[in-house]
């Protein structure tokens, strides 16, 4: 349960929000420096030396598909509800993921950044910022950490699992740039937005837990009101 968990440190939230604001402003103002950095990064990731990674990058981007991200969230919520009896937490997972997907979509529509035009290995439609794959991967990995890794006793296994989650996030970012679907700054905005949205979601969780628990977990709700 998340009842005993403090929220994301505000310094991280402020930093994440600043990253989102600055990069979104850069796109809206058509910053040539920002575009230069993005294209330079994309060229390095898509260099001929890296082309042997294409099958792996295709697999990673397929696993991190946005439709699958929603399914992963539903599966995690179902496990929490049916196996752990954590009904409020299950609802929180669903609301956080689906609400986040809406927020990310609205930001895409606001920014209206075109997709990269160089070396698209898999053609993509829609706007580019933020990266939906990266954003949803961030939330799914956050769920896995909060409900499965965080409760583990301190051990080498816990550290390895945490490192594995971080590495997977990096691989998703790398794959989206490699496939020509996004610029590097698109993925940075996705992680920044994910951090801010997670902070909002956890804050709402702590504020509304007792109210929701009274309806779906009466025994828990009464316990916390004593």
In the chain, count H helices and then E strands: 9, 0
pTM for this prediction = 0.88
Q: What is the pLDDT along the chain (226 residues), one digit of tens a residue?
A: 677 777 778 889 999 999 999 999 999 998 899 989 998 888 888 776 677 788 888 899 999 998 999 999 999 999 998 888 888 899 999 999 999 999 999 999 999 998 887 766 677 778 888 999 999 999 999 999 999 998 888 889 999 999 999 999 999 999 999 888 899 999 999 999 999 999 999 999 988 888 888 877 655 544 444 4
Alpha-carbon 56 to chain mean position: 21
SS (H, E, C) 22-48: HHHHHHHCCCHHHHHHHHHHHHHHCCH
24: its two tokens: 């979104």
């Amino acid at each position: 349960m998340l009842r005993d968990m403090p929220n994301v440190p505000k310094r991280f939230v402020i930093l994440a929000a600043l990253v989102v604001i600055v990069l979104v402003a850069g796109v809206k103002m058509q910053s040539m420096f920002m575009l230069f950095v993005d294209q330079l990064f994309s060229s390095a990731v898509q260099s001929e030396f890296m082309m042997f990674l294409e099958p792996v990058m295709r697999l990673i981007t397929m696993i991190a598909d946005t439709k699958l991200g929603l399914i992963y969230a539903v599966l995690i919520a179902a496990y929490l509800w049916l196996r752990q009896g954590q009904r409020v937490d299950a609802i929180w997972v669903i609301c956080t993921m689906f609400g986040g997907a809406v927020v990310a979509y609205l930001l895409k529509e606001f920014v209206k950044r075109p997709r990269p035009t160089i070396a698209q290995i898999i053609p993509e439609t829609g706007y580019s910022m933020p990266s939906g794959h990266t954003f949803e991967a961030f939330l799914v990995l956050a769920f896995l950490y909060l409900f499965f890794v965080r409760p583990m006793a301190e051990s080498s296994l816990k550290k390895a699992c945490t490192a594995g989650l971080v590495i997977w996030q990096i691989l998703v970012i790398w794959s989206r740039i490699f496939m020509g679907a996004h610029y590097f700054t698109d993925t940075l905005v996705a992680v920044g937005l994910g951090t801010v949205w997670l902070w909002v979601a956890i804050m709402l969780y702590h504020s509304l837990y007792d109210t929701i628990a009274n309806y779906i977990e009466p025994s828990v709700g009464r316990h916390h009101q004593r």
